[in-house]
Structure 1
Amino acid sequence: MPRRHPPRVNQNSRKENQPMLRIIGGEWRSRKLPFPEIEGLRPTPDRVRETLFNWLQNITPGARCLDLFAGSGALGLEALSRGADSVTFIDNAHEATRQLRDNLNLLKSQNGEVITSAALTWLEARQTDTEARYDLVFLDPPFRKDMVPLICELLEKRNLLSDNAVIYIEAESELSLLTVPNNWQESRSKTAGQVTYRLFFRSPEDQTETGSS
């Protein structure tokens, strides 16, 4: 009786069906990179990233960046493509961080650090005044979890921000008011469908107080 062999998996078909993100500009412009299908993982849309990095065109080059809730890494990878000095990617999904490491290897980038951790856990573990300070922070938490105020407070309390840091926040569009530290001033905002994205500029004064933007 002939041996039965398991059916072969079509590797090309698997790759074709995998979701992809596209780098919008910079060194890796138009490069497409895979990301895992995970419930709730929603890369920042191309048009939003294009607008955001137009806002940040004079800030991104040379910046030390933090990409919280990194997911596909779309924001941090875009920043690296456009000349950021480094990006720390934080996400709690092992599948997402594994793919991020693979994508950084594919791009031959040595400037990305990938950490598998919940964002709040990672922030709470930082030691005040002994950590790297970030010039540009991307904050894209799960919607309708009311996580933004605590995360912003921890960024200040752990002294993780440079004096004139810039913070980008994506949130559900029905959330009209964000509670952020008093020394963060909203510079720009825009709504695209169900998402409102905002850019805040930090000043070093009154960094221990919090209030409404």
Structure 2
Amino acid sequence: MRITGGSARGRKLASPRSGQIRPTCDRVREALFNIVGQRIAGSRVLDLFAGTGAIGIEALSRGAASVLFVDQSPEAGRLIETNLRACIARPRAAFAALNLATSPHLHPLQTAAAADGRFDLAIMDPPYQKNLAQRVLAMVEEADILAEDGLIVVEEHRSVALPESVASLALIDHRRYGETGLWFFAPNRPHAAHE
């Protein structure tokens, strides 16, 4: 498992020892960042179900301003710290320990968004086929932590059926890579009427 682009391209990432963490494969990660492209430079990124930190570290490597990694697992926290040290010289990054499967809200993330501004890009990679993606999408929308022109990317098993919209979030793209699917959601906010 390696970083696929940017300043840390080719750097090897430490892998999980347990089967509790399923990293995004290099091919899917590279495809994801090729799609979001220019959106990365200078962005504030939220990496939900962060695992090894590969997605957030890839974002930093490609020019993101900062990343907030969120995961419930102490192993994930250790892996992210190890991988950040190996790949990024002075990362602007933080880790929040939060069980997204059971938490009723995202208050800790609202505090982070209030301090530094809303997130431009949120990427979530929940455990496959556990019915978490739609619930956490709704939590992100309700917490109002996404920038007005922000984007949420969901990685899930390709067989999962995510809706065309979740609250004010609208599905704008869907791609498949082997057994993996990527869904892209953006705020569908009505423009203010001209007076």
* 8 Å CA contact 2:7, 2:62 repeated in 1: yes
The equivalent position to 1:192 in structure 2, one of 177, 180, 189, is 177
* Equivalent residues in 2 for 1:1-213, closer than 5 Å: 21-106=1-86, 107-120=88-101, 124-126=105-107, 131-132=112-113, 133-178=118-163, 180-205=165-190
- CA shift for structure 1 position 125: 4.6
Higher Cα radius of gyration: 1
Secondary structure of the residue aligned to 1:103 is helix
Q: Which runs of 5+ in 2 are unaligned?
A: none
Secondary structure of the residue aligned to 1:37 is coil
- CA shift for structure 1 position 184: 2.5
- Return the letter of the residue paired with 2:95: V
- CA shift for structure 1 position 128: 9.2
- CA shift for structure 1 position 29: 0.6
CA-atom RMSD in angstroms? 2.2
Aligned length: 186
Higher relative contact order (CA 8 A, sep 6+): 2
- Return the letter of the residue paired with 2:28: V
Secondary structure of the residue aligned to 1:34 is coil
> Which one is further off, 92-101 or 64-73?
92-101
Identical amino acids, percent of aligned pairs: 34
Calculate the TM-score normalised by the size of structure 1. Answer: 0.78
* 8 Å CA contact 1:35, 1:96 repeated in 2: no
Q: Within 2, Cα distance between the matches of 1:162 and 1:201?
A: 10
* 8 Å CA contact 1:128, 1:159 repeated in 2: no
- Return the letter of the residue paired with 2:124: L
Change in 2 beyond 3 A, CA 1:129/1:77: closer
Runs of 4 or more consecutive aligned structure 1 residues displaced over 4 Å after TM superposition: 120-123, 127-131
> Which one is further off, 170-179 or 29-38?
170-179
- CA shift for structure 1 position 181: 2.1
Q: Deviations over 1:142-188 (max 9, x none)?
A: 12211122211111211111111101001121113336424323232
